[in-house]
Amino acid sequence: MLRKPLGHGREAVAFPFEAESLHLVALDGPHVVGCVLFHPEGPDSGRLFQMAIEPERQGSGLGTRLVRGLEVAVGGMGFREVTLHARDAAVGFYARLGYVSFGAPYVEVGIPHQNMRRTVNR
């Protein structure tokens, strides 16, 4: 749901390190209805990516629960900071969760983005 609307095939845009990343999913029975991934980028920092909630369930708090769950998980693993590439349309979502923009805006996969970050508790 992140790539298809942009005209990209899933295989063409898979992150090469996805298999080694932390995956958190929201389940409804056997069905995955939301996901978020995390990958270390330094000794105490890493990147949140592939954040998506099934369209019919957006706005019901699942995204918040996944981000907070990810912060607890990676904080427990010793990470101190989560960074991410926020699509312009999602900047408000992350800002509500305490993420702060840094650096200049840029275009990624054809849409405007902004880097954001937040400190997490170890």
Ligand X SMILES: CC(C)(COP(=O)(O)OP(=O)(O)OC[C@H]1O[C@@H](n2cnc3c(N)ncnc32)[C@H](O)[C@@H]1OP(=O)(O)O)[C@@H](O)C(=O)NCCC(=O)NCCS
Q: Which of 11, 14, 15, 60 is nearest to 34 (CA)?
A: 60
Interface characters, 33-72, with ligand X (x: CB under 6 A): ------------------xxx----xxxxxxx--------
Number of residues that bind ligand X (CB under 6 A): 18
- Contact between 89 and ligand X per CB under 6 A: yes
Binding site for ligand X (CB under 6 A): 2, 51-53, 58-64, 86-87, 89-90, 92-93, 96
